[in-house]
Structure 1
Amino acid sequence: MALSKTRTNVAMTDPTAAIPSALRTLEAEASGVTALAAAIRSDLGGAFAASIATILEAKGRLIITGLGKSGHIGRKIAATFASTGTPAFFVHASEASHGDLGMITADDVILALSWSGEQPEMKNLISYAKRFKIALIAMTSNAGSTLAAAADIALTLPKAREACPHNLAPTTSSLMMLSLGDALAIALLETRGFTSSDFSVLHPGGKLGAMLKYARDLMHTGEAVPLKPLGTRMSDALVEMSAKGFGCVGIVDGNGQIAGIVTDGDLRRHMRPDLMTATVDEVMTRNPKTISPNLLAGQALELLNSSKITALLVTESKRPVGIVHLHDLLRAGVA
């Protein structure tokens, strides 16, 4: 009842009064990340590099553990590692003592998150790591803590004030742990040479999965591709444009290589009484933008948007093999 009464008494009459509070929170958290970056440039750098080497050399997986807010951050970090080429999963520090230690093998590496480094729930997990000689990396702000002392590598985060005005609710500290986890995951991604192709294998669903499809997965091929040779009369080119429905027609030379393209825009720019009797050579845009079948759908969308066009011819060795329209990307969920 007392809490409800307090909430009523502090009801905010001016919504804009929340803005300074938001700015203080963001500034406090930003200062924590800035301090973390400075630490990696100095004392924390060695431990960071050693952690990367230890995880890379592991035959097993990366086990992330923690509890409370650190546990929530640990779950997200584990998901980030797993999606960027480092097999990982989360084990709750409390549940570990009730059977989940069986999920951890001698080939694994444990990354234990605890701001204080003194949670009693970590004791059994630390003992298990020591007993089976499992590499233990600690992420904590307390270099003298039980966790840091037991760890093979201690990632000691710099002290920082929480954004909470009472300096109690984990806010800045949580963001710093999340940021350090992301830094580890991306460093491992880059060290492994994890590519966008690798990424697409692990992200087949949703918009991200759609963006990681290739032009070859979405393009129209064969007779669906609007093409005419050099020297074609514009009347015939217009029939091809209308029949295929892409608002353009690719023009090829005698070797079957792309020489130009005629679009709706070209028709408007060259509108004149004798347009239909002119040849495509007079109207076409030469050296049109084309893409490879191996271009990611997301990159194709960027090119369409930046060029303010709606279709792209897909070529191999300058020979047209397909066409991708903006509508194809929309249907696939890329945009």
Structure 2
Amino acid sequence: MTASTAFGQAAATGTAPAFDAARALALAQETFDIEAAAVLGLKARTGAAFARAVEAMLAVTGRVVVMGMGKSGHIGRKVAATLASTGTAAMFVHPAEASHGDLGMIKPADLVLAISNGGESDEITAILPVLKRLGAPLVAMTGNAQSTLARHADIVLDSGVAKEACPLNLAPTASTTAQLALGDALAVALLDARGFRTEDFARSHPGGALGRKLLTHLRDVMRAGGAVPRVGADTPFTELMREMSAKGLGASAVVDGEGRVLGIFTDGDLRRLVEKGRDLRGLTAREVMHPNPRGVIRDDVLAVEAAELMEKHRINSVLVIDDQGRLCGAVSSNDLMRAKVI
């Protein structure tokens, strides 16, 4: 007996069976199998109609207006949001509200993407004649190619599934998963066709962690001016240590007369010298520095590149130079964490 059969028998008797952990796990695994099969089943049915839908959406001078009722409406909202965030102007219009004035939001220059598994949602079928008179192209995403929605559509995308994951075969589960996957496929095809780039994505997500990583430049978060620890090559060791302590970076740049980086001295370098038992009092910065440091980066790069450089070389800070190679800043991993770049 399968998990869904056992569920059906319990439902038929009107009894609430005691919780069975094994059955719950079996139902979860069966759900994964059914929904995975539903998504994979789309591959064989996605062909010329899909390409025409993408082409039509690319040609739209207005917006892609997504519609759907119930669970299909929830999917529609997500599809509209994904399209909008990946370069395709889109919005969601609730079909029930559309017949009470929101149809005024839809213009002939728009394209309507209507989502309905059965294709017979009353709220959608009621406004189909108005949409046709408006002249906006209509793309249907439905599991019923003979439905009213499909007959009125200019392009039909088949989102049908063999069965729902619901043990009663009633609750929209596999069908909404298929709709979501098909909506994502449209968004991916469209962003690729538009040449949508990482920078474009970042501009539409400025408030999130991804936006900060892709939009924050190093010069926006680095320490600059007097906050940057630096000494000349002939600076005595004691003054070098005072500079490091005062600036709190755990390192100091060693620069020439024009401000170009000659080397760096870090807390780690100090520890290694102490372990060797060297008398440091008479030494200069030139004698203790690490020449040609790996942790040097331009100020016009993204801050995330500094994080990648630190990770690559397993260091905690980097020196920042301008286009002339002169020291202009410094940044530590803590600075990047405070800026929420990492």
- Shorter-normalised TM range: 0.7 to 0.9
Question: TM-score of the superposition, structure 2-length normalised?
Answer: 0.83
Alpha-carbon distance between aligned partners in 2 of 1:130 and 1:208, rounded to the nearest angstrom: 41
Q: Which residue is equivalent to 2:333?
A: 326
Please tell me the residue identity of whatever aligns with 2:198. S
Bigger CA radius of gyration? 2
1:1-335 to 2 correspondence within 5 Å? 9-12=16-19, 15=21, 17-36=23-42, 38-39=43-44, 43-212=45-214, 213-230=216-233, 232-252=235-255, 256-271=259-274, 272-276=277-281, 277=283, 279-280=285-286, 282-284=288-290, 286-305=292-311, 307-317=313-323, 318-335=325-342
SS at match of 2:47: helix
Alpha-carbon distance between aligned partners in 2 of 1:292 and 1:6, rounded to the nearest angstrom: 71
What is the CA distance between 1:231 and its match in structure 2?
A: 5.3
The worse-fitting range, judged by mean Cα deviation, of 55-64 and 282-291 is 282-291
Unaligned runs of 5+ in 2: 1-9
Unaligned runs of 5+ in 1: none
SS at match of 2:126: helix
Alpha-carbon distance between aligned partners in 1 of 2:147 and 2:82, rounded to the nearest angstrom: 27
The worse-fitting range, judged by mean Cα deviation, of 279-288 and 145-154 is 279-288
What is the CA distance between 1:6 and its match in structure 2?
A: 5.6
Compared with structure 1, are the counterparts of its residues 234 and 333 closer, same or farther at alpha carbon in structure 2 (3 Å cutoff)?
same
Please tell me the residue identity of whatever aligns with 2:223. H
Question: TM-score of the superposition, structure 1-length normalised?
Answer: 0.85
Alpha-carbon distance between aligned partners in 2 of 1:326 and 1:111, rounded to the nearest angstrom: 46
What is the CA distance between 1:273 and its match in structure 2?
A: 1.9
CA contact (8 A) 1:228 1:249 kept: yes
Compared with structure 1, are the counterparts of its residues 244 and 143 closer, same or farther at alpha carbon in structure 2 (3 Å cutoff)?
same
Alpha-carbon distance between aligned partners in 2 of 1:230 and 1:287, rounded to the nearest angstrom: 14
What is the CA distance between 1:111 and its match in structure 2?
A: 1.0
Compared with structure 1, are the counterparts of its residues 295 and 167 closer, same or farther at alpha carbon in structure 2 (3 Å cutoff)?
farther
Compared with structure 1, are the counterparts of its residues 46 and 167 closer, same or farther at alpha carbon in structure 2 (3 Å cutoff)?
same
CA contact (8 A) 1:234 1:280 kept: no
CA contact (8 A) 1:301 1:329 kept: yes
What is the CA distance between 1:191 and its match in structure 2?
A: 2.6
Compared with structure 1, are the counterparts of its residues 256 and 149 closer, same or farther at alpha carbon in structure 2 (3 Å cutoff)?
farther
Compared with structure 1, are the counterparts of its residues 288 and 170 closer, same or farther at alpha carbon in structure 2 (3 Å cutoff)?
same
Alpha-carbon distance between aligned partners in 1 of 2:301 and 2:24, rounded to the nearest angstrom: 46
Alpha-carbon distance between aligned partners in 1 of 2:248 and 2:140, rounded to the nearest angstrom: 60
The worse-fitting range, judged by mean Cα deviation, of 110-119 and 184-193 is 184-193
Compared with structure 1, are the counterparts of its residues 283 and 312 closer, same or farther at alpha carbon in structure 2 (3 Å cutoff)?
closer
Q: How many residues align?
A: 327
Please tell me the residue identity of whatever aligns with 1:265. G
Compared with structure 1, are the counterparts of its residues 320 and 74 closer, same or farther at alpha carbon in structure 2 (3 Å cutoff)?
farther
CA contact (8 A) 2:234 2:285 kept: yes
The worse-fitting range, judged by mean Cα deviation, of 300-309 and 318-327 is 300-309
The RMSD of aligned alpha carbons is 2.9
CA contact (8 A) 1:77 1:178 kept: yes
Alpha-carbon distance between aligned partners in 2 of 1:113 and 1:189, rounded to the nearest angstrom: 21
Compared with structure 1, are the counterparts of its residues 262 and 11 closer, same or farther at alpha carbon in structure 2 (3 Å cutoff)?
farther
Compared with structure 1, are the counterparts of its residues 233 and 187 closer, same or farther at alpha carbon in structure 2 (3 Å cutoff)?
farther
Alpha-carbon distance between aligned partners in 1 of 2:53 and 2:231, rounded to the nearest angstrom: 59
CA contact (8 A) 1:310 1:325 kept: yes
What is the CA distance between 1:95 and its match in structure 2?
A: 1.4
The worse-fitting range, judged by mean Cα deviation, of 285-294 and 241-250 is 285-294
Please tell me the residue identity of whatever aligns with 2:241. L
Alpha-carbon distance between aligned partners in 2 of 1:78 and 1:195, rounded to the nearest angstrom: 19
Runs of 4+ in structure 1 displaced over 6 angstroms?
A: none
Alpha-carbon distance between aligned partners in 2 of 1:289 and 1:125, rounded to the nearest angstrom: 63
Alpha-carbon distance between aligned partners in 2 of 1:10 and 1:80, rounded to the nearest angstrom: 41
Alpha-carbon distance between aligned partners in 1 of 2:86 and 2:297, rounded to the nearest angstrom: 27
